[in-house]
Structure 1
Amino acid sequence: MSELTDASAMRAGPEEMSDRRKTAAFLTVLTALVMEVGDSTIVNTALLTIRDGLLASPVAMQWIVAGYLLTLGSLLLLGGRLGDAFGYSRVFVIGTTGFVLASLFCGLAQTPGQLVAARMVQGAAGAVMAPQTMAVVQVLYTPLERVTKLAYFGVIVGLAAILGPIIGGLLIEWNLFGLGWRLIFLINLPIGLGAILVGLFVLPKADPSASLRIDPAGALIFAGGFGGLLYALITGAETGWSVWLLGLFAVCMAMIVAGWFRAGARRGRGEPAIIEPALFNIGTFRWGVLAAFSFSSASIGFLLILSVSLQQGLGLSPFETALVHIPFSAGVMLGIGVLVPRLLPRIGKTLPLLGGAAMIVGTFLATRAIMNGDDGGIGLLSCLALAGVGMGTMSGPLGPIVLAEVNRANAGTASATLRTAQQIGGALGIAIIGAVYFSATGEEAAARLAGLGPAGLAIAAAVALSLLSVSRLPSDIFGQNKPALREASD
């Protein structure tokens, strides 16, 4: 396979790369992750300013957020397969370039429609870029090494989640060069360009033996199915479930099932397919993806009701709400960055089981504290910290578990499948947990807090399903005595 540029031809394969170059490559893809996470959180604090600047309607404001998630979630499988077929480094550079250009168009938008369209393009570019980040780590490191490296991903995600809303508020407050809210998108330009330029020199070269082809019809089926499914979930959560939305949901589910069987038939004939059904024959992958799906539903749903309860129930400002989130995010980083690398090789799946239990306790106590009027006291902050530690030690191992026994030839597809499951799970969490929360409340602030009880039960049920999935994993997963962690990934 020909190289992208003369510069990329200078790149060594993973076996030939020095530790220093591997670290540079790792930091490059980590930078892309920061951009992706940042753009899903930084925009929240700017929505009111964008509304005033562009005279955007409430529907347009919702789709400035939802449009990004829609295209990201529906195209992740295609993005992962592109990486498998054409090389993760090459596709990463292309996706990052598209993300930077889309960010520029977001910053230059003059109407709400232009901004929504640019955000959807940004999500599509993110779907091409994002699967390559975990795939590059899969290629560069051994399974046990990935535990530590993927832990850094979790730390940076937590840090970006903390700083995203705060940085967004500061950029708008400073109003540098009179750009206002546009800076929250334009800030991606220097970051993304730096990642592209460095990546051309340090990322591992494409596997010359890669000969996969893309299945355009399969890509269209899954993109349409997941896109329609996400649209139904997001719209249903915002406006209520009408007959046509339920019909769309059913049709899209049928499309996904049909695409699944179609992919299996094509793989059986040796033809290319957009998804790899054989991956689900691997126990760690199958149960890990289900756990990630369920856990994403619980965590996204919890963050939704936490933010709404603090602002509309207790009257905190967006900036004050962001500050209350800090102990939670710090707990996530502690769990992923400190506890997971140290404890996962020793106690295996017991760690995420303990983490899930801690998250159930922490979220239950936090919701009770808010219901009792705690708007940021030591009690609430301690509960949020416990919930964060639980979330970190539960979610941190899931990425390494899912990829533990996946052959490197399918690293992009496996990563994209995981990310797609998380996106669909998050949308489902918003739809179900959000619906339970809002249906149990009235317009008054005190009535809104009452909805935390039933919503908390829905969160606990989702975490319990995740725990059930983890319990089906091999008992010594990531244990020191597990030689079956395939270096066949090589």
Structure 2
Amino acid sequence: MLSGLGLFTVLLGAALPLIDFFIVNVALPTIGRDLNASEAVLELVVAGYGVAYAVLLVLGGRLGDLFGRRQFFLGGMAAFGLTSLACGLAPSAWTLVAARVAQGAASAAMLPQVLATIQAATAGPRRAKAMGLYGATAGLSMVAGQILGGLLVAADIAGTGWRAVFLVNVPVVILGLILATRAVPETRSQHPEPIDTPGTVLLAVSLLALLAPLTEGRAAGWPLWTWLSLALFPLAAAAFYFVERREDRQGRTPLVPPSLFALTSLRRGLIMIVPFSIGFSGFMFVIAVALQRGAGLGPVPAGLALAPMAAVFFVVSLCGPRLIARYGTRVVTAGGLIQAVGVALIALAAWRSWPDLGVWQLLPGAAVAGAGQALQLPVLIRIILSEVPSARAGVGSGVMATTQQSALAVGVATLGTLFLSLASSDGMRDALVTTLLVQLAGVALTTALSLRLPRTIS
């Protein structure tokens, strides 16, 4: 069984990769000046991490099932600490990009073991509570990463400047490794299967073909390779599906078993988490750019502008398990409606107050949006994995995390591209409001999809 200290340790491991996806948003201007990096290279600092992370998540889950989840959790966490150190000491922009890609790979080894361990080492009310805490940790980490990034850059600890956003991981990882060796139990699949090499390669090609041009296309000026890559994506995705279906029919275990998608809760939850994550990450990126480049705020006030969202998210998410027990998945629908009100209030504040946009102007909308998000994300994660058998916990966790991470990367790419393109032609205020309205449409879609969720969660 997973003890309280063990749960804290694996949740710490879950927080680190998500914090690091967002922590660089407010540090990018400083990194660009210090390393003389172009905008395209700066986008690679973000995209290199996100793409490597997304591409390898399912494989990380399968390897944990095969060789032991605790072992892979420890190895992934140690690698995350070393690659964070490499990022913090990077002498050039391209060295930083390479270190970020390696850091993303380390995250992919560590994160799937968190959910898989919770699935395999808890049951009943303890599992429901643990899954609720995981969801709360995930959402809070994404907001807190941006706040922490601003504080660390401005603090300039011992003259480290932006490097502190990566170096801060090192002592946290050391603590996590000490705790994990004592408190995290070893679990693995009772019937481990060999690695599905064709499926692994085709999934990697599919995700790279989609995410690489979306994340780098705008900064690179949409060269020919970006369009060829996007054209390759549906072909690679179709090949992946047919290979996985063939493996399943022949009695072997594919990387992503198509039979998993027969689970209604997993299938509908994954469909919902895509627009939610696209809107979440797109908003976080756009608001960081708008507040620093447009409203003229420094990294600290730009980060602290999201503090109300983080605080309310944390408080409301703790109430999630009790609300689910009483109202079922209707909580998700209510959360979508509440988030829609919050996003609309942020858009109104941007329209009326620009360029004097800061924590006080954003507070009502950010707080309301945070409450709505807290009623959705933790519950969606629990729904997605509710029917996945323990033997496939690593695969199910990897599929969920890959879908979420890919959507996060797409959100930064699509909403970020929309915002930056409009800002150059229509001005920063109109670009921000328009992007928020697009996000609002995504919230409406998520809310509509929530009506098709099963009413109760096992």
The answer to whether TM tops 0.5 is: yes
Give the CA RMSD over aligned residues: 2.3
Q: Which residue matches 2:405?
A: 423
1:106–1:118 contact (8 Å) kept in structure 2: yes
Separation in 2, partners of 1:86, 1:157: 26
What amino acid is aligned across from residue 386 of structure 1 in structure 2? V
Tell me whether 1:369 sits opposite 2:321 in the alignment: no
SS at match of 2:297: coil
1:73–1:420 contact (8 Å) kept in structure 2: yes
Tell me whether 1:295 sits opposite 2:295 in the alignment: no
Tell me whether 1:280 sits opposite 2:287 in the alignment: no
SS at match of 1:372: helix
5+ unaligned residues in a row in structure 2: which ranges?
A: none
Change in Cα spacing, 1:466 to 1:174, as seen in structure 2 (3 Å) is: closer
Change in Cα spacing, 1:438 to 1:47, as seen in structure 2 (3 Å) is: closer
2:52–2:101 contact (8 Å) kept in structure 1: yes
More moved, 249-258 vs 141-150: 141-150
**Alignment match of 1:323 (pick from 304, 308, 311):** 304
SS at match of 1:462: helix
Displacement after TM superposition at 1:134 (Å)? 1.2
What amino acid is aligned across from residue 196 of structure 1 in structure 2? L
Separation in 2, partners of 1:197, 1:60: 36
Q: Which residue matches 2:369?
A: 387
What amino acid is aligned across from residue 43 of structure 1 in structure 2? V
Q: Which residue matches 2:419?
A: 437
Change in Cα spacing, 1:160 to 1:405, as seen in structure 2 (3 Å) is: closer
Tell me whether 1:406 sits opposite 2:396 in the alignment: no
**Alignment match of 2:440 (pick from 437, 454, 460):** 460
What amino acid is aligned across from residue 227 of structure 1 in structure 2? L
Separation in 2, partners of 1:101, 1:288: 34
Identical positions, percent = 33
More moved, 292-301 vs 154-163: 154-163
Q: Which residue matches 1:9?
A: none
Q: Which residue matches 1:78?
A: 59
Separation in 1, partners of 2:414, 2:153: 33
More moved, 51-60 vs 410-419: 51-60
Q: Which residue matches 1:469?
A: 449
Displacement after TM superposition at 1:143 (Å)? 5.0
Change in Cα spacing, 1:334 to 1:239, as seen in structure 2 (3 Å) is: farther
2:317–2:378 contact (8 Å) kept in structure 1: yes
Displacement after TM superposition at 1:141 (Å)? 1.9
Tell me whether 1:212 sits opposite 2:210 in the alignment: no
String of CA shifts for 1:76-133, please: whole Å, max 9, x gaps: 1111111222222121112112112212222232222211111100100101111111
**Alignment match of 1:231 (pick from 203, 209, 212):** 212
Q: Which residue matches 1:341?
A: 321
String of CA shifts for 1:235-267, please: whole Å, max 9, x gaps: 134445454312211212321221122111101
String of CA shifts for 1:264-302, please: whole Å, max 9, x gaps: 110111123111211100000000011011211121222
Q: Which residue matches 1:449?
A: 429
SS at match of 2:376: helix
What amino acid is aligned across from residue 433 of structure 1 in structure 2? L
Displacement after TM superposition at 1:354 (Å)? 0.6
Separation in 2, partners of 1:302, 1:437: 10
5+ unaligned residues in a row in structure 1: which ranges?
A: 1-13, 15-20, 479-484, 486-490
Tell me whether 1:65 sits opposite 2:46 in the alignment: yes
Q: Which residue matches 2:178?
A: 197
Separation in 2, partners of 1:220, 1:183: 35
Structure-1-length-normalised TM-score: 0.87
Separation in 2, partners of 1:379, 1:178: 32
Change in Cα spacing, 1:166 to 1:325, as seen in structure 2 (3 Å) is: closer
More moved, 282-291 vs 74-83: 74-83
Separation in 2, partners of 1:347, 1:407: 25
More moved, 362-371 vs 166-175: 166-175
Q: Which residue matches 2:6?
A: 25
SS at match of 2:337: helix
1:335–1:396 contact (8 Å) kept in structure 2: no
Separation in 2, partners of 1:360, 1:142: 34
The aligned length equals 456
2:351–2:429 contact (8 Å) kept in structure 1: yes
What amino acid is aligned across from residue 60 of structure 2 in structure 1? G
Change in Cα spacing, 1:142 to 1:198, as seen in structure 2 (3 Å) is: same
Tell me whether 1:40 sits opposite 2:21 in the alignment: yes
**Alignment match of 2:231 (pick from 245, 250, 257):** 250
SS at match of 1:134: helix
Separation in 2, partners of 1:105, 1:303: 26
Separation in 2, partners of 1:48, 1:454: 24
SS at match of 2:443: helix
SS at match of 1:45: coil
SS at match of 2:194: coil
Change in Cα spacing, 1:470 to 1:61, as seen in structure 2 (3 Å) is: same
SS at match of 1:96: helix
